Amino acid sequence: MRHSVSDLTAVIRDRRTIYPKDMSDRPVQRDLVEQLLGNAVWAPTHGMTQPWRFKVFVGAARQRLSEFLGTEYRRNTPPERFMQRKFDNMTERPLLANVVIALGMVRDPNEKVSLRDEQFAVACAVQNLHLTCTAHGLGGFWATGNAMTGEGMRDMLGLGPKDACLGLFFIGYPRIDWPKGYRKPLPDVVEWIDR
């Protein structure tokens, strides 16, 4: 074996979504965020396009992000579908998490691999990021609502017309007990095919 499988398994199974409302205001240091992102970029990437671009919002920039999300939500939502609770959640979250990372995806100029593969690669990077958070005892939450993935967000981040934001990843130390998870038993999701 090249690594401790039991350590790896423990981190994978312990990774939990922890929401900003359950995060404390304990600062997450910049060098730690760099370590998280340093692991994120070791995700697999078809054609080595490395499509991820991370925009890290900290401090006062989170207030700007919060206001932007509120405006986007209003802009994208017809008045009859507007939900105050959703608006409040969306605008509060960036202020409750110590660090918010916008998950940018850029298209290769020659589009040498499919859009789907670029999205998959970014998703793998997010998993690396989230697992590294878990190893540090940090909570993480990936959110993908329309206000976070639409054209307005893409433009606000300075991404190009073929690029996209694949959501926001919120990071903070939890102020709750580490949550328990559950998964379906393997026989529900695995089929062996041998002839």
Binding site for ligand FMN (CB under 6 A): 16-17, 142-145, 181
Distances (CA, A) of 167 to 64, 120, 151, 170: 16, 13, 12, 10
| Closer residue to ligand FMN (CB): 98 or 134 | 134
* Burial profile 87-110: b = 16 or more Cβ within 10 angstroms, e = fewer: bebbbebbebbbbbbbbbbbbeee
Separation in Å, CA 108 to CA 55, 84, 111, 160 = 18, 39, 5, 11
Collapsing DSSP to helix, strand or coil, 83 comes out as: coil
Least distance CB 16 / ligand FMN (angstroms): 4
Sign of CA dihedral 34, 39, 43, 45: positive
Residue 95 beta carbon to ligand FMN: minimum distance, rounded to whole angstroms = 17
Residue closer to ligand FMN by CB (options 33, 140) is 140
As measured in angstroms, the least distance from the Cβ of 179 to ligand FMN is: 6
194, 128, 195, 126: which is closest to 165 by C-alpha? Answer: 126
52 vs 142 by CB, closer to ligand FMN: 142
Residue with Cβ nearer ligand FMN (55 or 139)? 139
Nearer to ligand FMN, 30 or 136 (CB): 136
- Pick between residue 2 and residue 183 the one whose CB is nearest to ligand FMN: 183
Please identify the residue of the shown chain whose CB is closest to the bound ligand FMN: 17
Helix (H) or strand (E) holding 73: helix 61-76
- How many of the other CB atoms lie within 10 Å of CB of 31? 9
Instruction: Give the C-alpha separation, 59 to 174, whole Å.
Output: 18
Beta carbon of residue 18, minimum distance to ligand FMN (angstroms, whole number) = 8
Q: How far is the CB of 27 from ligand FMN (least distance, A)?
A: 24
Q: Whole-number minimum distance, CB 76 to ligand FMN, in Å?
A: 15
